[in-house]
Structure 1
Amino acid sequence: MGMQFAEELNIRYLEAYGDSQLIVNQVRGEYEVRNEDLIPYYSAVLEQARKFEGFFIGYIPRAQNTYADALASLATSLALPPGAETIIPVTGRELYYSKLPTGDRSDEATSEEACATTIEFEPRDWRFPYIDYVVYGNLPDDSKEAAAIKRKALRFYYDAVSQTLYRKSHDGVLLQCLSRKEAKEAIKEAHDGICGAHQPGTKLGDRLRRIGYY
């Protein structure tokens, strides 16, 4: 449901975390999904992940996620005084949509196909630590990495409206920061697309900067 809400908010690059190492590794394709009750949820997650331009999921131990854990505990412990009344709006939401097998395919075959469905998850987007620091003031736990991000962040600018990270070039031009997937497309475009002849590495990098990419 969190992924669905992110899609409705027009989030293009989503970084998600879960405190169940089993579930996270199943979604990443590192563990096989054997529980038949989980297969529909697993398939729904993969289908939802494809709707984002970039999606990363990682494991975070519950002990390191105390704030979210406290909110969850608070929600279950809140109670109204005796005799008090309140209105609680409830929104219906489908977690997944079951799909009936077509033709003569059995449920078992459908489950096997669902487990075989894979999606290539990106490594953690290199832009996220800079966005976390510029927007929220959050830094990595590693002191060396945190110091490097604080030093380099002075060259970055985040546009909250377009949800785009830019890097300021030496001449003051803002260069759009690309994900690994976007970078591959930009390199292909600059190397043999509308930009003309095939370019060697140094010249290709200069051409990409002139197009407006970092």
Structure 2
Amino acid sequence: MGYDSFESRKALKAQVLADFVAEMTTSTTSEKNKWTIFVDGSSNSQGSGAGIILENGDGVLIEVSLGLSFPTTNNQAEYEAFLAGLRLAEDMGAEEIRIFTDSQLVASQVSGEYQTKEERLLEYLNLIRTKLAKFKETEVKHVPREHNARADVLSKLASTRRKKAGNQSLIQETLTKPSIEKTAEVMHICAVDEQSWMSPVYNFLKSNALPVDAKEAAKIRKRACSYVLLDDKLYRRGFSIPLLKCVEEARVEFILQEIHEGINGQHIGGRSLARKALRAGYYWPTMQNDARDHVLKCDKCQRHGDMHLAPANELKMLISPWPFAWWGMDILGPFPT
């Protein structure tokens, strides 16, 4: 009697297991966060421009025609288009992107195949790599110019017809300076002078600091209800205007002078000047008195203003029962001889 031979099962190969996991694992990124980007830049004697096309898996299509209002070379225009596509993808919340460009130089330098020797292009490359690191997955490919015709047309700021998509939009913008140009850092100092009228309210809203005197502390708490602190700046809640910027004493004279006799100044009266300062969005407690004093000190207002001939007080009639009922006499002398 014959018996079937038994052979033990061999161990699974590690590569087979890895292939199985890769095949059965689904991507966690939704289709709306996967974007395909076509970019192209152009520069000629008439000007420079960039064309960008973004499309995701849900069929959303965005076309951007970006004008460059500064002198560029053709390679710089290609890099500006590449950077503009990355900025748009970041604004749209993209997680996985595929970028296609017809510039062999840009595609090879971004992927690391070519070296970048020009200093200006190296700054562009470093900025691009910084932005690419913000995405989960990126892919940069070079395509022939005929496969990137639409982006090429947009870069030349021309209009073409295209089959309408469900969610299609065309945006035209202008870039005023190179993307690699660094902006000057400005330090904002928002500290309030301790002698200013704003100091008690500002300190209370900023750090909950109050005077030792209980009555003064209660007054400041009550006053603080009408104020709000935004970006370390004090504003007063208004009625017709939502927020009025609080002004220190040192800037009051400049504001009143600009409103009263600036480029749109009409040399208006004190009450109107105070109201116009309110409508301009400013506030300080002594607005009425300061505006009136400013008008009184204005030389042009005193020289060319209307002369008021009316008496200071209301005139009263003198009632006489008969002529010469009242007499008046002045005594003069003695005079020098």
TM-score (norm 2): 0.27
Larger strand proportion of the pair: 2
Larger helix proportion of the pair: 1
Structure with higher Rg: it is 2
TM-score (norm 1): 0.42
Which one scores higher on RCO, CA 8 angstroms, separation ≥ 6? 1
